[in-house]
Amino acid sequence: MPVSRATVQKCLPVIAQAIDDLEPKARRGGRIVYVGAGTSRRLGVLDASEIPPTFSASSEQFVALIAGGDVALRHAQEAAEDDVEAGREDLKALNLNLDLDSLIGIAASGRTTYVLSCLAFAKSLGCITIGVACCNPSAMSSSGSVDFMISAVTGPEVVTGSTRMKAGTATKLVLNMLKSGGVGDSVGLWGVLVSEAVAVAVAMAVEDIALTPMALMHASS
């Protein structure tokens, strides 16, 4: 079955809450750090790289940490996602600012060790933490390390266990909404074309394109 509108629509209230907390910090120059492993890491890198050209924002404000390093973008590094210490060390190197910086942990299974480690470390510093998973309940949702838990439950994949498919699609939709609300609103882009000849456009290529406005309505209510 395809990813349905209802899959992500159920998450709109918590997405809106996350946007409400992300936006003021992003407006003040706070960094948004994406953390993931496997397909989730690639989606995090994609999102972080899309923001600067889309919203005319500084590339230094959006950081993507990936289990296994940059080589994992092209070649699977399965063992890297189980490295607890690597997650902590990667975050320590960023010198996170608890008053400004936020972390988005992405793991379709909700149990990736590298991601959970990063969430726990960021939470211990006092940073805002957002979890994105495609199952519920999960180790992530019960970890106590997540301020805003977004669980887009997509169900069994066409290829059993391959979260590159439905879960990947739902995750990208969620990240698009966080990006559009948390970043787009912070630079005053709603209802206008982006300055410097870039148009605000979020590609919601699933069943309809109404999800982002709905999330923003929740956030402003």
- Catalytic residue chosen out of the listed positions 60, 81, 89, 196: 81
Nearest to 214 by CA among 177, 169, 165, 175: 177
- Catalytic residue chosen out of the listed positions 50, 78, 85, 89: 50
Give the CB-side neighbour count of residue 191, counting CA atoms within 13 A.
2
Looking at residue 5, its amino acid is: R
User: In sequence order, what are the beta bridge partners of 63?
Assistant: 33
Catalytic residue status for 50: yes
Tokens of 167: 């879960």
Tokens of 41: 């890491």
Tokens of 5: 């509108």
Catalytic residue status for 196: no
CA distance 33 to 96: 9
Catalytic residues: 50, 81
